[in-house]
Amino acid sequence: MKRYILIVLLTAIGSRSMAQLNPLKSQYFQNEYLVNPAMAGNHGKPEVFLNYSNQWNKIDGAPVLGSISASMPINDKASFGANVISDKSGLIRKTQAMGSFSYKVPFSEDHAVRFGVSLSWSQDRLDYGLASASGVNDTELARYNDRENYLDGNLGVTYQYKALEAQFSYLSLNEKRYSEISTVDYATFYSSLSYKVKFDESFGVKPMLAYRGVKNYDNQWDVAAEWNADMLRFYTMYHSNKSFTGGMGYLDRSGLMVSALYNSEPNTVRGFSGGIFDVVIGYRFGK
């Protein structure tokens, strides 16, 4: 029985390693603050986002990820942000709370550099309520919850010039400490380059190339685009793990944003894991 419990645990850990390769899709277009603290307050108005991601539903104990984030400018240059993430995979539950500060250095009306920094608190725990009776008494499992909570931080910078935008964020300032505690691979950096193309007042596209680092794994790249047609949004993405993402969203003039996206299975596990379904609900205050 102990062997069985440990196999289940290792399977969950493996699922979470794969989860690092499939971040919340809203980090690309709808809610870039999720991956770059410099983007807190980027739109100049208070924003709130709810994210939900259900991954690989064909696998028992597959990852379920949820977050709530908010950002608010305090003047025309400085902004605050906050983010709480809950990540559940099998027996493992990870909770992270983060606070951020961003600052904009303008060169002209449509030319600026943004800087951001975040401080986060994280906790990894096993849910013993999901283990068998013998598993609860397993010494290997019991010691897991003795792990310390840990602090970490992110740094980000964004360069904006007219329709061009380049981002880079370093996602684990306390990498040595995090690698000692974390049992899974984790994201190390994020970078992207995008350019808005406007065909007319109601139709345009924002193509993007993103490049991401994952500890102990090959770096990942994504080719993505956000298409806008008046209040509708359409999303297309191709990922280096040979999977595709497609979705659509609606941006109401009141400030309400709703999007749904589906990521197909990676080529290596096609037919076994199931895809990834992301839902995003946001609200931007003010006119």
Tens of pLDDT, residues 160-180:
999 999 999 998 887 655 555
Task: Measure the N-to-C terminal CA separation of the chain; round to a whole number of Å.
Answer: 60
**pTM of the entire structure?**
0.84
CA nearest neighbour of 278 among 264, 256, 263, 261: 261
Contact 55, 276 (CB under 8 A): yes
Residues of the chain with pLDDT under 50: 1-19, 181, 183
* The pLDDT of residue 133: 53
CB atoms within 10 A of CB 127: 12
CB atoms within 10 A of CB 258: 16
* The pLDDT of residue 134: 53
Contact 26, 35 (CB under 8 A): no
Please name the residues in contact with 269: beta carbons below 8 A apart, sequence gap of 6 or more. Answer: none
CA nearest neighbour of 100 among 85, 116, 122, 84: 116
Superfamily of domain 2-284: monomeric porin ompg (2.40.160.40)
Contact 120, 152 (CB under 8 A): yes
Residue 239: how many CA atoms within 13 Å on its side-chain side? Answer: 21
* The pLDDT of residue 214: 85
* The pLDDT of residue 218: 86
